[in-house]
Amino acid sequence: MIQSTQGGAATHAPLLAIEGLTKSFGKVEVLRSVDLGVAKGEVVTVIGPSGSGKTTLLRCVNFLETYDSGSIRIDGREVGYKDAGGRVRRGERELAGIRADTGMVFQSFNLFPHLTAAENVMLGLRKVRGKSKAEARAAAEHWLSRVGLGHKADSLPGELSGGQQQRVGIARAVAMEPKILLLDEITSALDPELVGEVLEVVRSLAAEGMTMLMVTHEIAFARDASHRIVFMADGKVAAAGPPSEVLAAASHNQRLGAFLARFRASHF
Amino acid sequence: MIGQILYALPFLWHGFLITLAVSGLVVVISLVVGVALGVGLVYGPLPLRLAVRIFSDTIRGIPILVLIFFVYYGLPAIGLQLDAFAAAVLALTLFKVAQVVEYVRGAIASIPAGQAEAAKAIGLTFAARLRYVIFPQATRRFLPPFVNGVTDAVKGSALVSLLGVTDLMHAINQVIGRTYDALPLYLLGAVIYFLVNYALSSLSRRLERRYAFIRE
């Protein structure tokens, strides 16, 4: 289990720096000047009511969503737009390169159904990282074993349970050796009895120092596994800090209190 | 009746080859052009999307027979004079291209958005996403209507007889013109068309099994 730390990793210049991020869908402002930093090796969890913009925030980080203003930098490099001269969108190849360094695991798994578990993991290694078939296969077997699915390497996604599919999804993302891993409500589509096996994998990655930014409704897990919790409401960061502080702040932050009360009823 | 059929077969052979040639040309050209335009309709810039959309809606709104007569009898007025075979193939191909465009659009649209997102997330470029993630899945959706469309092309090729192209249908009519015995000849023609299309349907079922990697 990871203890929340004040010093250590968090004192360095952040690996991921989000500043003044705004984003609208038509007339709806989803993100209203969000600031957020994630240091190397840090695990940051974003919680908040649905519609608060947390998933959109995550999707902006690897540019699955464009953003209107503000900046997102990974290792000092702007994500979606060229640094110089206004907001010029990066070319296809540059974007692909940036995304390859930003792993993402999806709520609905999004495994490639025509490829086996191993081939799902190998695709990026072969076509993006340029590894040989043998190298990619070895890496895929390594990562599938890490998530407890070494014996399922040659199964198609349709032959796996939801929890197994999501663990393949995690293996596919981490095999690319990304600088940061984005986890978007990765247990929300799972049957309750399958949630544990997936969270266990995330916990072990955190223990090894993988930098992670995750959105989750598993408050208990967020409290145990995160260095910091960010509470979002109405497209803004309403509270942020070590889990114990943020969860304790519920007594004087009305929105946070109301949000957590619903979880206390069912989860604590 | 057997005697009449045996008498007719040599006359029909050449027509049968013409029918296969017309069908084959129409299918191959429309597959290549239709897939290109279909991909353009889904991913292309707005002017291209508009142009393909207008082309497809227009062609699909015209009876195929009108299209054939328009190309053969109408285009010479603007200086494009095609012989009967070329005009027939062009008209049938235009019609088939419009259909293939819609099959391609539907096949690509049926792939969940999450597939393209997952492919982006591991760093695949646009071309690689299409090649390794979208097309292999879309092919499975594309094949059944397309093979169905191939059998339509074989059946529809009989229309070229109306321009005087001596395909299977026209050859049958020529023999009937000599023997004045229509029933055995039309029965024979029906059996030949059926056998070709039955072979195609069998092929289609085998292809579908080959691509049945998604369990539903």
Instruction: Compute φ and ψ for A209, nearest 5 degrees.
Output: 95, 15
Q: DSSP 3-state assignment of B117?
A: helix
| Beta-bridge mates of residue A215 | A46, A184
Pick from A5-9, A21-25, A156-160: least confident: A5-9
Structural domain count, chain B: 1
What are the chain A neighbours of B117 within 8 Å (beta carbons)? 64, 106, 110
Spatial separation of the C-alpha atoms in residues A247 and A233, rounded to whole Å: 15
pLDDT tens-place values along chain B, 216 residues long: 788 788 888 888 999 999 999 999 999 999 999 999 999 999 999 999 999 999 999 999 999 999 999 999 999 999 888 999 999 999 999 999 999 999 999 999 999 999 999 999 999 999 999 999 999 999 988 988 898 899 999 999 999 999 989 899 999 999 999 888 888 899 999 999 999 999 988 888 888 787 776 544
Closest Cα in chain A, distance from residue B209 (Å): 13
Q: What is the pLDDT of residues A100-124, one digit of tens each?
A: 999 999 999 999 999 999 999 999 9
Residue A4: the pLDDT is 43
Residue A84: the pLDDT is 63
Spatial separation of the C-alpha atoms in residues B16 and B169, rounded to whole Å: 8
For residues A42 and A10, is the Cβ–Cβ distance under 8 A? yes
Interface of B with A (CB under 8 A): 112, 114-115, 117-126, 128, 132-133, 136-137, 140, 213-215
Cβ contact B120–A156 (<8 Å): no
State the number of CA atoms in the 13 A half-sphere of A22 facing the CB: 11
For residues A219 and A231, is the Cβ–Cβ distance under 8 A? no
For residues B130 and A118, is the Cβ–Cβ distance under 8 A? no
pTM (predicted TM-score):
0.85
For residues B96 and B56, is the Cβ–Cβ distance under 8 A? no
Residue where the block lists tokens 């999004």: A110
What are the chain A neighbours of B136 within 8 Å (beta carbons)? 114
Closest Cα in chain A, distance from residue B131 (Å): 11
Percent of chain A with pLDDT over 70: 92
Task: Say whether pLDDT at A265 is over 50.
Answer: yes
State the number of CA atoms in the 13 A half-sphere of B207 facing the CB: 17
Interface of A with B (CB under 8 A): 62, 64, 92-93, 95-97, 99-104, 106, 108, 110-114, 123-124, 127-128, 156, 158-159, 172-173, 176
Task: Average the pLDDT over A154-167 and give the result.
Answer: 96
Task: Say whether pLDDT at A9 is over 60.
Answer: no
B119: domain CATH number is 1.10.3720.10
Cβ contact B115–A110 (<8 Å): yes
Nearest residue of chain A to residue B126 (CA atoms): A92
Residue B213: the pLDDT is 64
Number of H helices, E strands in chain B: 9, 0
Helices A162-174 and A192-207 pack at an angle, to 10 degrees, of 20
Which long-range contacts link B187-190 to residues 24+ away (Cβ below 8 Å)?
Answer: B188/B5, B188/B8, B188/B9, B188/B12, B189/B12
Cβ contact A172–B122 (<8 Å): yes
Residue A133: the pLDDT is 96
Which long-range contacts link B62-69 to residues 24+ away (Cβ below 8 Å)?
Answer: B64/B91, B64/B92, B64/B95, B64/B156, B64/B159, B65/B159, B65/B162, B67/B91, B67/B94, B67/B95, B68/B92, B68/B159, B68/B160, B68/B162, B68/B163
For residues B153 and B94, is the Cβ–Cβ distance under 8 A? no
Instruction: List the strands of the sheet with A16-25, edge to edge.
Output: A28-38, A16-25, A69-74, A77-78
Higher pLDDT, A254 or A14: A14
Q: DSSP 3-state assignment of B36?
A: helix
Q: What is the ipTM of this complex?
A: 0.89
Cβ contact B121–A99 (<8 Å): yes
Task: Say whether pLDDT at A12 is over 70.
Answer: no
Q: What is the pLDDT of residues A60-90, one digit of tens each?
A: 999 999 999 999 999 988 998 887 666 888 9
Which runs of consecutive H residues, i.e. helices, occur in chain A? 54-61, 92-100, 117-127, 133-146, 162-174, 192-207, 219-225, 243-248, 254-267
Q: Which amino acid is at B138?
A: A
Question: What residues make up the domain containing B57?
Answer: 2-214
Give the mean pLDDT of chain A.
90
A100, A106, A128: residue with CB nearest B118: A106
What are the chain A neighbours of B124 within 8 Å (beta carbons)? 96, 123-124, 127-128
Residue A268: the pLDDT is 46
Higher pLDDT, A250 or A247: A247
Task: Say whether pLDDT at A6 is over 70.
Answer: no
Task: Say whether pLDDT at A7 is over 50.
Answer: no
Number of H helices, E strands in chain A: 9, 10
